[in-house]
Amino acid sequence: MKAAIYNGVKKVDFEERPMPTCDDDGIVVKNICASICGSDVTAYNYGGDSVLIWPGFEFGHEMVSRVVKVGKNVQGIKEGDRVFPLPQFAKNDYTRASTVGGFSEFIEIPKCVLNQSVYLVPDEIEDELASIIEPFGVGANAAIRLNTEPGKKAIVFGAGAIGLTAAITLKYKGCDVVVVDMLENRLKVAESLGMMTCNLATEDYFEKCSSLLGSGYGLYGPTLNCDYYIDCAGKQSVLDSFTKYGQMYSKLALVGIPREVYQFNAIPLIYTGMEIIGPAGADGEVIRTVMEILASHKYPVQNMITHTFKQEQLIEALEQASIPTEAIKVEIKYEE
């Protein structure tokens, strides 16, 4: 089989490797479609140690696959099933979550357990959408962990794949949502998904968001009439704006990875009951919610997929994914 091997900054090689095999407790899958994660882009451009992608490893972890071999002890899975491998458990090693092999033709899933290692994908979800279940799960998990209620208001910082999927989940749960970013191409996609938007490159954050959501008065002066915030940008300025403009009992979920250690004023949390949470990874309930949203076709999620390449064009695809003014979700499509 053809395997994509990460070998360092700007270095990805294709190798012919033996077809994966499995024992009685595992399965082998053939990748149908894979999408490029921000961690793949980071590894390609700057080095992979910080995102658990090391030289010599197959990589890629956002994919939908077809089962081609099933060990006799595996329950609930048969050849021909379309599955989503959950990266944290696909290799039975959390440190391999980023090196599952989504950019290779075939993958072994050892000690495979249905609804843990892999999830069956409903027929209603197209291959291209199924390949973004993993990043959708990250965004959806942030929204779900906030314990959102219908009729509440939310702001999402960052209109990349994680931010947009968080916004979709908030919307699906009945919230009014504003997506904040500086890139017009991404905000246009957010608008196509039914979101209100604020462009920090041309608009004042408080003025625009208060006009959309309303305002009040709090510990340090004017506040936004907003219940939930999700930071998918990993910026100190997001934390600062939350502690400055957040109303009583509002909540912030931190999803974006900051490049520097955050500094923040804890006094607003002490006096107002504001909360900051770290959502962690998606579980089975979150994955099922994501599939429910995708199968509903309620939102044109396909608008997030901006480019599609073949496996042999992976380097070109990584280069394209490195241009945020053009790309949101870049996919690799395999021939079945």
What DSSP string runs through 157-207? E--SHHHHHHHHHHHHTT-EEEEEES-HHHHHHHHHTT-EEEETTTS-HHH
Q: What is the pLDDT at residue 281? A: 75
Q: What's the first-to-final CA gap in the chain, in angstroms?
A: 14
Q: What is the pLDDT at residue 268? A: 85
- Domains, the chain: 2-121+302-333 (3.90.180.10), 136-277 (3.40.50.720)
Q: What is the pLDDT at residue 282? A: 81
**Separation of alpha carbons 314 and 21, rounded Å:** 25
Q: What is the pLDDT at residue 111? A: 96
Q: What is the pLDDT at residue 50? A: 86
DSSP states of 62-77: EEEEEEEEE-TT--S-
**Separation of alpha carbons 174 and 183, rounded Å:** 26
Helix (H) / strand (E) containing 87: helix 87-90
Q: What is the pLDDT at residue 264? A: 85
C-alpha closest to that of 4 among 42, 39, 31: 31
- CB distance 121 to 130 below 8 Å: yes
- CB distance 85 to 109 below 8 Å: yes
pTM here is 0.94
Q: What is the pLDDT at residue 113? A: 97
Q: What is the pLDDT at residue 335? A: 81
Q: What is the pLDDT at residue 187? A: 98
| Per-residue tens of pLDDT for the chain, all 336 residues | 999 999 999 999 999 999 999 999 999 999 999 999 999 999 999 999 989 999 999 999 999 999 999 999 999 999 999 999 999 999 999 899 999 999 999 999 999 999 999 999 999 999 999 999 999 999 999 999 999 999 999 999 999 999 999 999 999 999 999 999 999 999 999 999 999 999 999 999 999 999 999 998 887 889 999 999 999 998 999 999 999 999 999 999 999 877 788 888 888 888 889 999 998 778 888 999 999 999 999 999 999 999 999 999 999 999 999 999 999 999 999 986
Task: Determine phi and psi for 253, rounding to 5 degrees.
Answer: -105, 125
